[in-house]
Structure 1
């Protein structure tokens, strides 16, 4: 193993240790107390330390103010030794009780209790200090109340408070040189933590003489004390740095052997394409061996490369679209603008709802290395043609040709046919997927519903005073009606304008099927003008001849019987017993047969 760092050595006339930084001396003294149950108690150790002299320097229980002093004091002991710290004056407040630091507080470890103004030592708290302390904190479970997380100030098995500091020996219960708190008399049940001696410090007391019986020296071992690495994005040169405590710094490409490629505190690499490790060592002419070489890494960060299926996407009509991109390494960032902080997404995909043409921008970052200028990703939103699904009516057993309303370059029907039109002979729902021409290339699906209407069936023809209505077994809005066989209408109601035998006809609008039924109408004229002009000279009941039992009885306005008409006599000339009756309203009663009800009405005689 090669030594590193600087080493200091103290030289004294005997086994007492010397600390050059403060010119103090240290000595471990072993001893035991008067009773076999205990080790040496703290008070006896304090008195014995105060009674000791070293070349005129006053002794006292050691007060430890630094890690350097603690290391020197701890390495001198061959057992467990008292030091000068205690919280006997005030629980949880540790002070030095000896030497020139007597009375100085060096650690605080109190917690409040449920009783106002009452405090106790906190066995689980870290405590606070502005001074050097080295309490034993070796337990991994101190927070559960399991030793050792010192000072715990807990009562021992003899119900004795632990108010005095001791340096423990390394026996698995703590790190050698760490501090613990035990009771005044020492504790035999703690094994190696039982006090079997004390550590005396000489120097710093008032009236101490100046003595020159010890000295110190240092060895400086050449070593690299600090390094600085460098990194860059992509191929290029980098500048590395190193400092040493002594000698010349040499740079190498290998960990061992080889020839130095540069000398000095900095080194600029040649152009490199990948991460490379270089090595430095310091060389001093008076030292035959060099220190272990220190690695310094020149890091080449890869510039990410973005790959996309294409830089232009299309969307058939408004809707959601997912854009994708991939990167060789690193993370992709999506923006709405070519520059600035308009970040809208992170990752390999971005989903947005669009209704118009839109351009997004992407860049990738790999450990602060970027692709540079943002790459545009364009989305073209195509306007789709407006269309409605079709409904087509066909006749039963009729074969028809159907076609979509859209033009395209490819067609795919639900029947798996690929022609623009297809022939069908059964009703049902048919779809056709139409592929539009490039660059749009959108696929639109149209639905064509083919229907067969059931044949109409007349239920009855209702003849009322002024109207005729054709009633169907199953009415529907796709039927049309006629009572002359020529003129058809969508309404099933007709005005009663002629008498006689007639035919009611119903068909569907596609004229696939038809039904008809004959009926007879009788029209009672509203007026007549018996003035011998050969026009409306008679009041005539047309159609009466179709009802052999029919009678029409006429009355004047006072109820006087004028005449009776029948199928063989269907007209009245406006006279009574050969004399002209005056212009007035006259009344009739129509009886078609014995089973039918009477129909009453009136008409006018005009002269």
Structure 2
């Protein structure tokens, strides 16, 4: 009988019971003589099932046979039917709204009758992202026994993102117990219901104005542009042609503050340029239109003219000349040059045109000589300069007048002790000295003869005075002054002498000329004689004293004067005696040293009388000084030649044995006094002027005082010689120095100041001043008005415009406290105070805008940092992205973020979306972030050290101050590994086959050194996806069905191909 799992009539055919005949002599118990079971045949079928069994049972035996111990056996029918598996999208649409799933059906070509699940492998692709867009699929599906199919469910996730329809693509992979049929792949579409129009973005044209130099490189910048699957389109037009022509463009939005560059607007006409931009999401839904404008001007100024407003220009208007434009281009820059045919330095100026017919005034041409005045003006803008516009006028000025200076009668004749001491101030002859010039040439045009340094002269001669206009090189008629100077005659120095009246006892003859020296021409006379004498002076000035009475005779020498000088005299004393007694003193007085016998001292006398004698005493005598002219009066003799008192002292050679002396030498010591300057008086003027200075001095002995004025504290030039001094025209404050002298004794110089006050200025107001009316980090609540002006003279403040209706007040220091006052523009006026004779005041107004400010609002800036790859190989690049986000709705200013790379990084570049990054200090500065605004900083760096490197970004400062330190610092780590792609025989385990020319194939380092190698790659299910003997680094990640998906794969590398050097490991495909 037959039993078992196989079905009779289905799996096999058999007639039961069945008799098996065993012929005699055929079966010997070996396999070779085994007798088959008749009528048992196996029936093939197409069922997918497990192996079946047939159990055979022997019944009874007949004849000579008996049943042995084994009466049963099992026959196994092996199943040879393998099903084909296919896949279809049984529901090819899934929706995020309501999260309606889609599904795939995986079908067998026959019912699974294997008794267990058939596990079918599959891989997942498509544009949808697992987890984000749908629940991740497992990669296998089980078809239960007794079933022909199973379902793969795609459950979508609602991500609230505006995005296109995305796909989930499932491809069947090889496995056990099935073969892959067709179709082997299917797709489910995930439909998103989200369609949010982009919003919150603005644009700014980066060039304004647009000119000829930048019109073909215009750019605009987004602010707050959404970046998730968005694109922009823009249109530029110009009102120059009524906004007909346009320049358009489109592109993807890559960053919220993206700049779109290199837009050529040269085809648009000049005028107001309007930019219109819309941003669309991936579904094509447009956001609101946003726009910006800029002025386009690509032409240079043209068609303008200028004209002088004064012609002729003369002394009444030369310092306030003006000219007027016609048809000038507003906002263009003007540059003018004004020159004279008479030479001189050109007058130049510049500014900005505010109106087409603007007048430029207040031009000072006083420095230009007379002649034809030429005005040349050029207008320019960003595109270049226009042609010069010119005009001419005639300048004819002369401030010298038509009247010659008037002489005041001061004497022009002088008598001086020494011609070298002569000096005279020519200005003393004219009372009005403004612009007065003296010359040695009668022609004022001979400027080389002008006395430019000083009007004080030291030589006699003829001088010509006139009023002179140096700017215009013209003069008034002249006046002539002839200085006549004579030297006071010198009577010389005499030496007393004695003569004998008896010729038998000595010399009786005296040549008067032998007793005088250094005398000027003159004559001798006898002015005192002894009674009974009869003295005769012959034609040779010789006198014979024979028979004349003994006694003293006085002869006078008179030096004859010239001009207004007076004759000068000197006396000669001659002592006559009979010479009968002995006396070794001789008959000649001690000889003077060549100077004057009258010696003058200033304030104190101190002299050694011997210093004035050059002769030697006769033998047996000594030089004696006495207060008496009689040598015999010994009581008057001085014990010491050093004297400190003024007076006349007599020196002689004295013979003490015979009590007699020689003729005497009279020395007179005079003490003079230095004057004291008791007071000085300066002068002051508002603007350039001629000033008068004065001094007053006194002297102890009431001598005549002389004054001398100098232009320097030492040395310098003499500029005046009286107690008053009139300056030339001064344009700035100048110091002069005066001395007083009497009898040759001059005082120290005393400074006297001639002050020139500049015309009073109220200063220049500082513009755009703002203060707060609440305590805030945005600015102060008080302001010192004096700090709002530049270059002001002394003055006072008043309030002109007061939005607080009288609550605003100034304290003593001109500080205003605006705390609590209404917002608005407060206007204050500053008025100068008179100084000296500068009585004309000036005023300036200062505007201060008071506003509400952030009142110490708390703010929170959040710092985040990301790195594009936190595990890299040595010498690879990484990119850090630092984001600073204003977490509040308030404005934050003056933000400083510090991000300093440590030594293991080499900085390559930096790109802040806003602000500036200093690559030296590592400081990222941002002027301002408005509420909820963020900014990013990208830093590219190369890793140059192994190990774990860190990079930290931290908030350094802001205004207001951040009060949440928890998110003020962000740090990322980068693990730097040594590349595995260095040693021969190793695989570079990560490659990116995306056809970009970089790392597109799996590299075996030094593959030419291993020509017999063998490489096989397996997927995670153990399926071989690639095999090659003699691998040559050429595999690009392609399998039999095309590009393999990204992921991890495993390899077996037999380097020598003989199993002696086998390496196993993993690789990654990253496209």
Between the two structures, name the one with larger relative contact order (CA 8 Å, sep ≥ 6). 1
TM-score normalized with structure 1 length: 0.29
Q: TM-score, normalised by structure 2?
A: 0.18
